[in-house]
Structure 1
């Protein structure tokens, strides 16, 4: 918290996969947003209504590569896929320390994780990896 505002330092993220926790030491950012389906309803009187239906959540995060955790996780996902192993979805828990001193916790359920970028390898630069996800719901815990 800084000056009465939340900052990224107030947020922690825990990722639990079917094979156990995905422990990333340096998560750099976490983004999430709801997905919605909008349908216009236009009755004969011409007064348009909008029907909005929640369709889950999407998001992404970046992590600095400090070990092979994400690479190993993706390698296991690929191995399981080609071996015909059915993998259950993951969960993500987002915890926010509120300015007023409270804690808010959100749980993303039925999470499907995708390794979007294993990282660019360049001299004198860190390797930033990125993942995206879709979730069926975000529930307040």
Structure 2
């Protein structure tokens, strides 16, 4: 029996960074939200007017560390910046299996990443790593 609602395991993400696919082993969460810029005017002769304009997308994902892919990515980016002032970029793809059997596909472009949690190493727990991101745009693909 299928559910009429989306559950977390119906989604997956793929990260392409500097043209190469990054092996994100065991993604355990992914969240994203639209950013907007509030535009407002307060005319003297009528009520205030307010509307929103798109201003990118912000989100994060967490993996249970099964390999060194994220460590390698961020180390290479930092080295490229200090050695040649290179700023890396990429694209993130999100796939969602819908209840009707179709797949929704979204591309987040103009991507920047922050390694917000490189991991806590505790003797009895799986190491989780979290990446925050900003994307200039999201589009259906």
Whether TM exceeds 0.5 here: the answer is yes
1:84 aligns to what?
Answer: 84
Gapped regions of structure 1 (runs ≥ 5): none
- The aligned counterpart of 1:96 is 96
CA root-mean-square deviation: 1.4
Gaps of 5+ in 2: none
Query: Where does 1:1-141 land on structure 2 (aligned, <5 Å)?
Result: 3-141=3-141
Structure-2 change in CA distance of 1:52 and 1:62 (3 Å):
same
Deviations 1:5-53 (A, max 9, x none): 1101111100000051111111010110111110221112241111211
- The superposition leaves residues 49-105 of structure 1 with CA deviations (integer Å, 9 ceiling, x where unpaired) of 112111101000000111111111111111111111523420001011111111110
- Deviation of 1:135 (Å): 0.4
TM-score w.r.t. the length of structure 2 is 0.94
Calculate the TM-score normalised by the size of structure 1. 0.94
Q: Distance in 1 between matches of 2:14 and 2:49?
A: 39
Corresponding residue pairs, total: 141
User: Is 96-105 or 78-87 further displaced after alignment?
Assistant: 78-87
